[in-house]
Each structure stands twice: as structure tokens, then as C-alpha cells.
Amino acid sequence: MFTGIIATLGEVVTLARRGDSARLEVRPLAPFVDLAVGESVAVNGACLTVTTVAGALLAMDVSHETLERTTLGRLRVGERLNLERALRPVDRLGGHLVQGHVDGVVKLRSMAPSGPHVELTVEKPREAAHLLVEKGSVALDGVSLTAARLEADCFTVAMLRFTLDNTTFRDRRPGDELNVEWDLLAKYVAANVAGARGGIDEDFLRKHGF
């Protein structure tokens, strides 16, 4: 479990395909202290398990499912990444509950300065319309954000310039793809409502990990 508060940026060292999976090596710009093999790290919002720690380098295996559902399979050597270690029970919950189970990929439509913020407009897939409300939470590339405005096919978030400067969003441009994880509570509510109506949507439940 994570909170969507990015600890540091990292850099892709290698992404080696192995059949239908891959091995990702990352160099955190600020090394994680006491990181052990077997720990979970969110990489651009996708939860991965650390398989090797060699000095400042971390290696993680990326499953076929993760490659298919996220942008990780399209990473390039030298590309920057958002990194977050798993939440400890004693940590402050500065963002919202983020599983690191990416629901899919959405496209960034625009970025516009707005006072101390930058407004990002992101596409909203029709099948996810019921999973987002105004002032509700969403994780984009692992960053915890709040939906400020909703439209029929998109939503807008207001990002602090500090967040922009200290995450991969400083590299993002309109048209870029982002990993999205819809709010965990919204997904459970949606599943329960579907059940109460007498027709649980099995495809929906399967897609969102229920």
C-alpha cells in the first residue's frame, strides 16, 4: 500500500525483455536507506517487488500483466521515474490509499499555469466515469491528486508547482500517456452497488482486481 506522495525520482538503467515479462533496473536519485530484497516499490504508480539491491541500483521483475496494463513496457534508458516505498503503519497518510495496482493508461490532454498551480486536463474513459467525483482522489503515474473539475470525457487536477518540479510531471507534455489508479474506495462502492442491483458485472470486477 502507498500514499501517492513521491519519495524521490529514479532513472531507468535497463529494461530487458524476458519472454512476456521484463527485468527493470533503476537508480534512485536519492538512495533508499535499508531497502531490502522483497520490498515493494511503486514505479510510476505500479507496485513492483525488489529482487536485487546492488549498491545504488534496484532490480525488479515486471510481469506480463503489468507490461500490458501500464506504460512501463515503453520506458527508455535514462527516463525519469516516480518512486515511492511502501507505506508503514506509523507513516502519515499525506495523500490517499494507493495500491499500486494500475487500472490502465490515460492520455494527458493539456497543461496550463494557474497561479501557484498547474492545471492538468486528463482524458476520462467512459467505463471509469462512475469512479471519479469532484474533490475525489486519483493517482496519476503514482502521484496522489484531487479532481477539481469533471467533464463528460475528461477531468482536471490542480498540481502544485512543487509537485510538478519534484516528479516526472516536469517532463510530461500533452499527448503523453499516464498510469492511472482510480480510488480504491470508489471501486469497492461501485462493486457493491452493482451487486445490490442484482447483476454484478464480472468483467468490471475482474478488471479492477476483485
15-48 pLDDT, tens digit each: 999 899 999 999 999 988 889 999 999 999 999 9
- Class (C level, CATH) for 8-85: mainly beta
Q: Is the pLDDT of residue 72 over 90?
A: yes
Instruction: Report the C-alpha gap between 51 and 37 in whole angstroms.
Output: 5
pLDDT per residue as tens digits for the range 74-130: 999 999 999 999 998 878 788 898 999 999 999 999 999 988 899 999 999 988 888
Under the banding of pLDDT at 50, 70 and 90, the label for residue 195 is low
Closest CA to 70 of 96, 48, 41: 48
- Tell me the CA distances in angstroms from 26 to 42, 75, 168, 196, one per residue in order: 12, 11, 14, 45
Residue of higher predicted confidence among 202 and 179: 179
Region of poorest pLDDT, from 64-68, 119-123, 198-202? 198-202
Closest CA to 57 of 88, 87, 90, 23: 23
What was the pLDDT predicted at 92?
A: 79
Q: Compute the mean pLDDT over every residue in the chain, rounded to the nearest whole number.
A: 90
What was the pLDDT predicted at 165?
A: 95
Q: Identical fold at 8-85 and 104-207? A: yes
Contact between 204 and 190 (Cβ < 8 Å): yes
Domain boundaries, the chain: 8-85, 104-207
Average pLDDT over residues 171-179: 97
Q: Mean pLDDT highest for which of 30-34, 180-184, 200-204? A: 180-184
How large a percentage of the chain has pLDDT more than 90?
72
- Class (C level, CATH) for 104-207: mainly beta
Q: Is the pLDDT of residue 201 over 60?
A: no
